[in-house]
Amino acid sequence: MLGQPAYQPVMRSLGELGLYTATDLFRQYGGRARDLEGWLLDATINRDRNLRLQYLAGFGVNLHEGDTIDREILQYRVFPDDLFVASDSTLWRLKQVIEGTPE
């Protein structure tokens, strides 16, 4: 569908991010909440109104740990067999890129 003229603005926008195909886009899939339960097990949930966690987060603004956090999250990622609708060959390719296995 992304090749259709009606979706050209979407393709242009994705291209600005370096995403040129649907596979490029879905390669970014990080997982579902249920997949990340183990990673979030000890997470502190902000239930207060004084914004303490937001204040503390400011201390980490220049730590540049995004890549490390991303790698940790991706260890919990599981291919969602029931989420994507595509041909068998496209699903196989997508599964390869999401799981990080060579095509």
Domain boundaries, the chain: 5-99
Report pTM: 0.63
How many other C-beta atoms lie within 10 A of the C-beta of residue 98?
21
CA dist list (Å): 2 to 23, 27, 30, 63, 89? 11, 16, 21, 37, 17
pLDDT tens-digit map of 37-87: 999 998 888 787 878 888 888 888 888 888 898 889 888 888 998 998 888
